[in-house]
Chain A
Amino acid sequence: MSPEDKKPAVEETDQADPNKVRLTINDQDVVVDKGTNLIEAARSIGVEIPHFCYHPGLEIVAVCRQCLVEVKGMPKLVPGCQTIAGDGMEVFTASEKATDAQRQQLEFTLLNHPIDCPICDQVGECELQRLYFDYDCQPARHDLAREPQKKRVPIGPRVVMDEERCILCWRCIRVCDEVAGVHDLDLKERGHATFVSTAPGRSLDNDYSLCTVDQCPVGALTEKAFRFDTRAYRLSSVDSICPGCATGCHIELHTYGGTIRRTKPRFCEEVNRWWMCDDGRYIFADYATDRADSARVDGKDVTLEDGLAAAAEALDGVTGEELIVLVSARLSTETMYAVKQLVGQLEGAQIFGTGRPNWEGDEVLKSADRNPNSAGLALVFGEDLGSPEDLEQRLSSGTVEVALCLDEKTTNPDTLADVKNVISLVHRFAGIGKTSRVVLPMAAWCEIDGSFVNAGGQVGRFHPAVDAPGDALPGWVLVDRLADAAGKGLDLGGTAREIYAAASDDLGAQVLPADRFGPTIPAVLLRFANSRG
């Protein structure tokens, strides 16, 4: 079918649809939903209208005046963010008038901007740098002294403010108002003296305060923990899922030199949109030090082979009556599925689901359940899963000889004090990892490929960002090796993707959709990712 044949058909459907509007942007036809603003309409055909203050997730304020565009018939330029696309509108984003306005606006914005790029944390992902370079790129026309303002204003426990760098886009104020729901930040003074500051009697101390840093288009708000840590353009970004709670926010882990440096939220319409809570930002730090990097038997470091052999020996000849398996809801779905396969070989062993205790969630993103994969646990083990109360009852019966614990936070070590052999797969020698007879080192979520199922039943895929320490291996690999050592070959795939596919086949594609494991995305070097700031 030639394009000419196709065109009228499209037109007819569009005209028939009362919820659509037709307009032209730079002489290109665009059809968008009613109520779409010009920035989004232009974006839909790949035309960028430069903007600072507009954010699709925040209320529109039209204060930065950067998105001025020309609309035929309108006497003045209009802001693209606040102007709703209307039928028959003719918009020009790159006409002489519009380009001039955009340039002049950038010139004004830069008038008092400090020459901080060499020491600014935002450099390389700075929206002001990008827009200046792409839309203006003219040398300064003046030789005036800048107006100095306050630097290093500690406006909150996690955020530092630099008033000189601020371009007054109000995004941070709106993030506090609309995401966190608290009015922590406000504008002070008027006119050219305006600056962003904390609201009277408040400090920027809400659970979403670091979202203001994400949304700051320049380096006015910087994260204390990341300040002067690494140049942003040297970081590599890896797609991951936050393991902090059952919400499972989509995140990016930014690495440099083999260590994770910071966490940033990744847009996901169904889960977290552009946001994440402050608690989730520093989870990687928990796994950065003090890790279990070798196997331990009776408190002594041994090779992984010896550790596996000791575990296999403990499991040898144990009947299902004498064995309990404790699985934490912090593990990946693939590890859980591997455990299910192993337990299938150990007749009658009972499985108990555990994890971190609940905390106080909130109405925004934080779920009361602090385990990222509780839903996955329920999916994989279904009705076989025993509750903590069942565990108590079972232990009190006194028949338990061997306990296999996956994750150090499965239970209080005291509960298993009477069990003769405790085998644990842990991230660190803490909790149950301290008291178990056989300890095997397990890689953390940020070191492995896998998936979590969040409270809403959505599968989220995470990628390995850094190497696991020492001998630590992914949970499912350890389970597989343990089964091998115990002479019970599991028919597991060689990759997390294969295990997920097997689990999907086994448990049903409606709960674990095969395509949700997603393509493997290699780490992106932010330097050449075209300033994603």
Chain B
Amino acid sequence: MTSNSEQLAVQERVALPTETMTIMMGPVHPAMHGTVRVVVTVDGERIVHADVQVGYLHRGFEKECESVTWGQVFPYTDRLNYVSPILNNVGYAMAVEKLLDLEVPERAEYIRVISGELSRIGDHLTCIAAIAMEMGAFSIFLYCVRARDIVYDRLEELTGARVTHAFCRVGGVKDDIPEGWLEKVRGGFDEITGVIDDIDGLLTKNRIFLDRTQGVGVVSMADAISSGFTGPVGRASGIDYDVRKDHAYGVYDRLDFDVPVMDAGDTFCRYYVRMEEVRQSLRIIDQAIDQIEPGPVKAEGAHRVVLPTKNETYNTIEGMIRHFKLVVDGIQVPEGEAYTYVEGGNGELGFYCVSDGSGVPVKVRCRPPCFIVTGQLGNMLVGHTLADVVPIFGSLNMIGGECDR
């Protein structure tokens, strides 16, 4: 970032004296993701200062969680990073399971991995689509959306909802996978890989794309570390950190995959890391499909946590009472606090939950990875032209719902 400013200072010395101008980008702007405002001060085309203002989208996620039962929080987590809801579901479920000291059945863990990685593919494809489209490559957007639709179709078949799945439950997942679903998932690989290869061929060595992305919005590794960057944006700056690898949760330790890391820290690296991660996610799903065994998908014997089946609920009074108590009073989570973190679409997604022993959370705090990344956007923009705002911002993949402050 300093190099950008120095460059600017040199240019200023030779240029004619000009006046600065303040331009509002957002909160409602066709090229902005979510409702965020960037107040840019430009000197001609060059940005001399950028003030990023989040908070235009505020649902009060954390406060909402304090008035619902532990189980009712899941739909809210869906709406954090709404492009990869299952990853959020898993992160929150793990926090409650940690408080309950509850073991999740293996099959449920595999389903979480498969559906979660599908979500991640959807997330990355969305981001790649946006970066390219905002620089005029509209076909790329359509290619990505076509591939993402395969992901959405599979998730819809699994969860019943296309976008906000609310699929995880404390102690497992909502349902077992439908018959023949795993084969269908595998059947979509070729098309997704094909799209990624096409995009790779169209963009990665494309002079125009490289000119617009290489050396643009650079974040050094030191800056990235001191700002707390994680995920694809952190890895593009050389931080070799992936929660799935470094703090393996679920069954990730049984799966073989690589963590792509690049050093330049520019928009291009952030694009390319995501491309590679899509391929790695497919690898993970492929192995998970091989390894998954039949079994229960909800913690067995945890009658005070897991809802009874519909058959039990409507035909036995025991099931009816359990269902009622779990829905109305909520899962009685023992007093305590827990922090769990998973690799979300944008980096380390953490949930810090505090319980007072009742059915309602005292606090659910979310560590949103893209909020931290967006915090550095202002510094990244300085020195670049106004036209660079959109690709740089796009490559951070800020999701308004997750940035909810």
Contacts and interface: CB of A to CB of B under 8 A. Distances in A.
A117 B316 contact: no
B303 A139 contact: yes
Nearest to B319: A139
Given A129-B325, A528-B360, A115 B320 contact: yes
B325 A133 contact: yes
A123 B303 CA distance: 19
Interface in A506-532: 527-528, 530-531
Interface string B311-322: 010111111111
A137 B360 contact: no
B103 interface: no
Contacts of B316: 115, 139-140
Interface string A481-492: 000000000000
B359 A114 contact: no
Nearest to A126: B321
A137 B329 contact: no
Contact of A137 (B317, B320, B322): B322
B329 A528 contact: yes
Given A117-B321, A133-B304, A527 B329 contact: yes
Interface in B317-358: 317-322, 324-325, 328-329, 358
B304 A113 contact: no
A129 B308 contact: no
A527 B72 CA distance: 15
Contacts of B320: 115, 117-118
B324 A132 contact: no
Interface in B283-327: 303-304, 308, 312, 314-322, 324-325
Contacts of A132: 318, 321
Given A137-B322, A527-B329, A528-B329, A115 B304 contact: no
B317 A113 contact: yes
A138 interface: yes
A528 B70 CA distance: 13
Contacts, number: 56
Main secondary structure of the interface of B (DSSP, over half): helix
Nearest to A114: B317
A515 to B, nearest CB: 29
Given A117-B324, A123-B324, A129-B324, A110 B360 contact: no
B329 A531 contact: yes
A122 B304 CA distance: 21
A138 B318 contact: yes
Q: How large is the interface on B (under 10, 10 to 19, 20 to 34, 35 or more residues)?
A: 20 to 34
Q: How large is the interface on A (under 10, 10 to 19, 20 to 34, 35 or more residues)?
A: 20 to 34
A124 B317 contact: no
Interface string A118-143: 10000110001110110011111000
Contacts of B328: 124, 233, 527
Contact of A139 (B308, B314, B329, B358): B308
A531 B322 CA distance: 14
A129 B320 CA distance: 9
A115 B324 contact: no
A31 to B, nearest CB: 28
Interface string A80-99: 00000000000000000000
B310 to A, nearest CB: 13
A528 B304 CA distance: 17
A138 B308 CA distance: 10
Contacts of B325: 129-130, 133
Contacts of B304: 133, 137
Interface string A225-265: 00000000100000000000000000000000000000000
B359 A528 contact: yes
B322 A115 contact: no
A132 B303 CA distance: 11
B314 A115 contact: yes
Nearest to B314: A115
Contacts of B308: 139
A123 B325 CA distance: 9
B34 to A, nearest CB: 34
Q: Among the interface residues B303, B321, B328, B360, which one has the most CB atoms of the partner chain A within 10 A?
A: B321
Given A133-B321, A133-B322, A115 B360 contact: no
A454 B303 CA distance: 49
Contacts of A133: 304, 321-322, 325
A133 B312 CA distance: 15
Nearest to B358: A528
B385 to A, nearest CB: 56
A132 B316 CA distance: 13
Given A528-B358, A528-B359, A140 B318 contact: yes
A113 B51 CA distance: 65
Interface string B355-370: 0001110000000000
Interface in A182-227: none
Contact of A110 (B303, B315, B318, B329): B318
Contact of A115 (B303, B317, B358, B359): B317
Q: Among the interface residues B317, B324, B325, which one has the most CB atoms of the partner chain A within 10 A?
A: B317
B249 to A, nearest CB: 28
Contacts of B360: 528
A530 B315 CA distance: 26
Given A113-B317, A528-B329, A137 B324 contact: no
Interface in B15-49: none
A118 B304 CA distance: 19
Given A129-B324, A137-B304, A110 B312 contact: no
Interface of A: 110, 113-115, 117-118, 123-124, 128-130, 132-133, 136-140, 233, 527-528, 530-531
Given A129-B321, A139-B303, A528-B358, 9 more contacts: A114-B317, A117-B317, A117-B320, A118-B320, A133-B322, A133-B325, A138-B303, A139-B316, A140-B318
26 contacts: A110-B318, A115-B314, A115-B315, A115-B316, A115-B317, A117-B320, A117-B324, A118-B320, A123-B324, A128-B321, A129-B321, A130-B325, A133-B304, A133-B322, A136-B318, A137-B303, A137-B322, A138-B303, A139-B308, A139-B318, A140-B316, A140-B318, A233-B328, A528-B329, A528-B358, A530-B329
Enumerate the 7 nearest inter-chain pairs by beta-carbon distance, A residue then B residue, closest first.
Answer: A140-B316, A133-B325, A140-B318, A113-B317, A137-B303, A129-B321, A117-B320
Interface of B: 303-304, 308, 312, 314-322, 324-325, 328-329, 358-360
